[in-house]
Amino acid sequence: MTGSVVIAGLGPGSETLVTPEVSAALAKATDVVGYIPYVARVAERPGLTLHPSDNRVEIDRSRHALEMASEGRNVVVVSSGDPGVFAMASAVFEAVEAGPEEWRNLDIQVLPGITAMLAAAARAGAPLGHDFCAINLSDNLKPWALIEKRLRLAAEADFAMAFYNPRSKSRPEGFEKTLRILQDACGDARPVIFARAVSTPDEQLSVVPLTECTPEMADMRTMVLVGSSTTRIIERDGAPIVYTPRSVKA
């Protein structure tokens, strides 16, 4: 009786973005745990138990998965996007490190997925086509001062930037501050992409100059991508193409 935990990325929403590796893991699972809307994406079948749980209980969910694996079950922890990018993989490893010694030697695998920033970037063109950074704008688990410091240094480094969790009802002011910091630090009208619910029926995409961005353009389902100083727009019929060239002149 050897159990396992597979932490699998379901991608941003469309089933056409789920890797065959993840589909195969789901087909072999005895138990699937995860946040309610992600577990809802897994088809029910005989022999599979679904364990949906609410948001913000990531450590409890991780412990539950590890306990079931210790009992010999084949557990898949589902994440949206890629499990290693602001998702469930770190939560499971936090639970492993704090848990009983035997959990360390469980068979634990992470299966990558299409993370939201890359799905959003693909829709817009190639805004992350040169050096870039990814920042989680939620200050639930880190001090706001650290976010602000990273924003200023990222602007100074002239990275393109991808923001996860830009704005929620409980903390509407963070994204407003983010925009002010970037407008101040970048000092130009570089393109900003607001990509909501990419690859789902609710998908919406807009490209707005940094100087004209306002906080309500983002919510928790939005990925925000900010170009670097070299990012370009190709105007054409319909939505423009936004891309960052591969070269930077000396």
Site for its own copies in 150-179 (CB under 8 A): 150, 153-154, 156-159
Q: How far apart are CA 54 and CA 133, in angstroms?
A: 29
Using CB under 8 A, which of the segments 7-15, 36-44, 63-71, 208-216 binds its own copies? 7-15
**Following CA atoms 197, 152, 112, 16 in sequence, which dihedral angle do they give, to the nearest 10 degrees?**
20
Closer to its own copies by Cβ: residue 68 or 83: 83
Site string for its own copies, 94-133 (x = CB under 8 A): x-xx------xx--xxxxxxxx--xx-xxx-xxxxxxxxx
- Confirm or reject binding of residue 192 to its own copies (CB under 8 A): no
Using CB under 8 A, which of the segments 36-44, 45-53, 188-196, 233-241 binds its own copies? 233-241
Contacts (CB under 8 A) with its own copies, residues 56-85: 58, 82-85
Helix, strand or coil, per DSSP, at residue 195: strand
Using CB under 8 A, which of the segments 18-26, 35-43, 64-72, 169-177 binds its own copies? 18-26
Question: Do residues 242 and 232 touch, judged by C-beta distance below 8 A?
Answer: yes
DSSP string over 155-194: HHTT-EEEEES--BTTBTHHHHHHHHHHHHHH-S--EEEE
Residue type (1 letter), 28: K
- Applying CB under 8 A, the site for its own copies has a residue count of 78
Give how far the C-alpha of residue 131 lies from the chain's centroid of Cα atoms, to the nearest Å. Answer: 18
Give how far the C-alpha of residue 101 lies from the chain's centroid of Cα atoms, to the nearest Å. Answer: 30
Which ranges of the chain does DSSP label H, i.e. alpha helix?
Answer: 20-28, 36-39, 58-70, 88-98, 116-124, 144-156, 173-186
- Confirm or reject binding of residue 223 to its own copies (CB under 8 A): no
- Confirm or reject binding of residue 227 to its own copies (CB under 8 A): no
Among 28, 45, 56, 149, binds its own copies (CB under 8 A): 149
Closer to its own copies by Cβ: residue 31 or 82: 82
- Confirm or reject binding of residue 1 to its own copies (CB under 8 A): no
- Confirm or reject binding of residue 224 to its own copies (CB under 8 A): no
Closer to its own copies by Cβ: residue 20 or 46: 20
Q: How far apart are CA 36 and CA 174, in angstroms?
A: 26
